[in-house]
Amino acid sequence: MTTIKTVEREISTLEGFAVIIRYEQTGRDVRADRERLPGYRYERAAPERYTVAEWIEKRFKKRFPGFAATVYRANGAKAGGGTKLKSLRATSA
């Protein structure tokens, strides 16, 4: 099991965008040192055709039930649910 900070870093490294993990019910940020989460165990990045909302549903929520993710662009702005991962990753390059 791993910490929130490590999971956020694993997602950023593999997927090419930043995330902040929050509690799903309250929307509050989770302490970075909170432990006992499974790691982000994907070998390949999600397809570029996915939207942010699809990535959250198909990857994040399946791996981390009870938590929510806010996805950010390279400039620090929140990425909308309809943003394609391809364009999101292009802002981070």
Alpha carbons 71 and 40: distance in angstroms, whole number: 15
Residue 93 has pLDDT above 60, yes or no: no
Domain region containing 52: 4-92
pLDDT tens digit sequence for 9-58:
999 999 999 999 999 988 888 888 788 888 898 999 999 999 999 999 99
Work out the number of other CB atoms within 10 angstroms of the CB of residue 4: 21
Strand partners, 23: 67
- When divided into structural domains, the chain yields a total of 1
